[in-house]
Chains A and B, each alone.
Chain A
Amino acid sequence: MRVLTLRRGRRSGIYGRQATAGWVFVAPVVLILGLFLLLPIVMALYVSFTRWNGQGSPFTGDVPMAGVDNYTDLFSKPGLARQDFMLSIRNNVYYVLIVVPVQTVVALFLALVVNQRLLKGKTFFRTAFFFPSVVSSVAISVVFLFLFTNSGAVNALLAALGIHGPAWFSDPRGVVHIVLTNTGLVDPSAPPSALAGHELFGLSWWEWLSGPSVALCAIIALVVWTTCGTFMLLYLAALQNVPVELEEASLLDGAGPFQRLRYVTLPLLRPTTFLVLTLGLIGTWQVFDQVYVMSQGDPAKTTLTPAFLSYRTAFRGFEYGTGAAISFVLFLIIVVLTLIQRWVLRERDGGAR
């Protein structure tokens, strides 16, 4: 709307001053964002093309340039850097694939439950479900560490059900590997050569398809638990905007509760679903605190994520160029996935969002 006014203003000449005034008013924000957001990003982008070792300023002629090597090495140069990066991508893919759908479905379910008019103690449940979202992620991570020790509450619970719980933060095997081993389908010391013999970006298919390790599963459980409260709130707000008339109309048309959910509620929630999925996608690709607090990438790098790897490469390995390159690849991944997801969720009848 504003853009429209401005354009018309220029043509007529009467509103010309408004544009200047507008810029004056937004100048402080533009300046602050430029200084503390845009400028550091541009500087980091520059660093990602150098071999800066963290000594002195990266913007002098003494810093060797790397061109695009920092980027291409991550994909094409055999070695530890590529392997760590690919492992971190693998872990994060599993993490995203599980966390995003689960947290969305759980959040929607919780929102539907606490939106019931007949439910008693609504406020209590809403607070209880939202509570984890407002607690410090570091504090929650530490609590989960206790829950998931070998003789912790989770394993005690599993033992009560007759299940021998895994060694959560020391078993480096992926769950797919564990299942295949325990069912006797595959001998872990001699994986099928069709998978182990072929590789993509330096990791064999057997490694790509390992599934998340149990440690990563514990982190997944933690994250789902903490974030679904936030997204429940978003869904709840959207649900309260669903007009009662529509529900009544569908009732009159003879729709059952499931049909009503499928054909009335869910389509109306589509913008919120888009938001929840986008926020979920961005948040999950950037997972850092939980990894930093709980596992530092262990066991055997199965909880290594690109965000943590980038930090470690820069501040421990003093390869700031590679670290910055990792973070920009991560940025690209997020942008591309968000665009794909936007395209998939577009309004099929041609209406603009």
Chain B
Amino acid sequence: MAPSRRAAAAGLLASLLALTACGKGFDDNANQQTGNANLQILIGSSGDAETNAVKTAAAAWATATGNKATVIPAQDLSQQLGQAFAGGTPPDVFYVDASRLADYASLGALEAYTDRFTGGVDDFYPKLREAFTYKGKLYCVPKDFSTLALEINTDLWAKAKLTDADIPTTWDQLRSTAEKLKAAGVMPFTVTDTRDRLGAFMVAAGGWIVSKDGTQATADTPQNLQALQFVQGLLKSGLAVYPKQVDTGWGGEAFGKKKVAMAMEGNWIKGALQHDFPDVKYRVAPMPAGPAGPGTLSFTNCWGIAAKSQFKAQAIKFVEAMTAAEQQLAFAKAFGVMPSRASVKANYLQQFPDDKAFIDSADFAQGPVNAPKMDSVLKDFDSQLQGLANGNPKAILQRLQQNTEAALKG
């Protein structure tokens, strides 16, 4: 028994070594190929409308240039990209969410191609470019963007005998209007329990989680505390609810089901309401200004190109085609996003005048936290925000500060 077992162990060890040697194969630096490319494009699609629009645009580009372009909609973009990077064969072009940019960039997975991009980088909104800049390098060009604004249900508004003059423009007015709505028996406001919504209050109070360059933790500040205390006040006095408390998955659903008179969501709410709740009458106002002026958040993806792609030159051409002014307008029409080029704004507003509140905030909207290793920290912050109504805002911010410092250090 013993000798054969030893032989088997030796055999196994040999095959292990052989396989790890093979493993080195996928570390070879990819050679650039010229000529016609076969591009793999992984997109985190918002739905069929977006998938079809991108597929159509990619097919048109492929026919015009003689390349091949395969668009793959991801089930879970973050996970699929993570696995593709680990496997060593990432797609050539893919969406990169601004909140994940620093992670991918710090891994060295992204090609910083904007110096070879001939479509006019300066035309993209400066705030959006900031979101895709890591350590002074602009890695990719923004695909489109969304911002948060205040949606108001005009029927519930009328029911509480409110007029246009009651549309809140400051925090104080938000509170007093909410009190009027509550007195009329209407749940005034819903806000989702995540930094992606409550962060807007922190910005409006003059605070944010990290410093502008993303190197310092600035969570535990009086400004952030003021913001959380304001929201906590709304929650405690029953002037605002988290969507889950009224049995809905997100603010747009609570708003669409007429459970609340006001919601703060991005321009994606248009499509959702049109699709699921077509009878809701509403209007959109800018987010009420806080002590430090107007504050809102922006959400954006960019067209990332893999550092390991074999077709970088062709991929850049593809991105140029996808971000051309005409194409951006076509995408906007197809699935309700806002063009990331400033030069398209006037044309866009002509076609979608209702989106003024959303697109006007492009100049000051705060992008996601732009630093690596922050995903679990921000998840932890979100989990703390879930208990904000009965929690201690100061302690929540101290904890965020500690964790952010630790993450930024290592």
Contacts and interface: CB of A to CB of B under 8 A. Distances in A.
Contacts of A170: 242, 244-245, 386
Interface residues of A, number: 48
Given A34-B12, A54-B82, A318 B103 contact: yes
B70 interface: no
A298 B82 contact: no
A59 B383 contact: no
A133 interface: no
A131 interface: no
A23 interface: yes
Given A3-B1, A317-B376, A60 B24 contact: yes
A34 B27 contact: no
Contacts, number: 105
Nearest to A9: B1
B78 interface: yes
B23 interface: yes
B11 to A, nearest CB: 9
B383 A38 contact: no
Contact of B376 (A39, A80, A169): A80
B355 to A, nearest CB: 31
Given A80-B376, A80-B406, A300-B386, A315 B27 contact: no
A53 B23 contact: no
A92 B403 CA distance: 24
B86 interface: yes
Contacts of A317: 373, 375-376
Contacts of B107: 53-55, 318
Interface residues of A: mostly helix, strand, loop or mixed?
Answer: loop
B82 A172 contact: no
Interface in A300-318: 300-301, 312-318
A149 interface: yes
Interface residues of B, number: 43
A51 B28 CA distance: 20
A81 B379 CA distance: 12
Interface in B37-78: 78
B268 interface: no
A80 B377 contact: yes
Contacts of A59: 20, 23-24
B173 interface: no
A12 interface: no
A60 B21 CA distance: 9
Given A60-B24, A301-B383, A318-B82, A84 B244 contact: no
A54 B86 contact: yes
Contact of A80 (B12, B85, B380, B390): B380
Contacts of A150: 244-247
Contacts of B379: 297
B1 A7 contact: yes
Contact of A315 (B24, B79, B244, B383): B79
A101 interface: no
A189 B23 contact: no
A320 B244 contact: no
Given A39-B15, A189-B390, A317-B373, 15 more contacts: A30-B8, A35-B15, A55-B107, A57-B26, A58-B23, A59-B20, A84-B376, A149-B247, A150-B245, A170-B386, A172-B387, A300-B386, A300-B387, A312-B376, A316-B78
Interface of B: 1, 4, 8, 12, 15-16, 19-20, 23-24, 26-27, 78-79, 82-83, 85-86, 88, 103, 107-109, 242, 244-247, 373, 375-377, 379-380, 383-384, 386-387, 390, 392, 403, 406-407
6 contacts: A56-B26, A57-B26, A169-B244, A188-B390, A300-B384, A316-B78
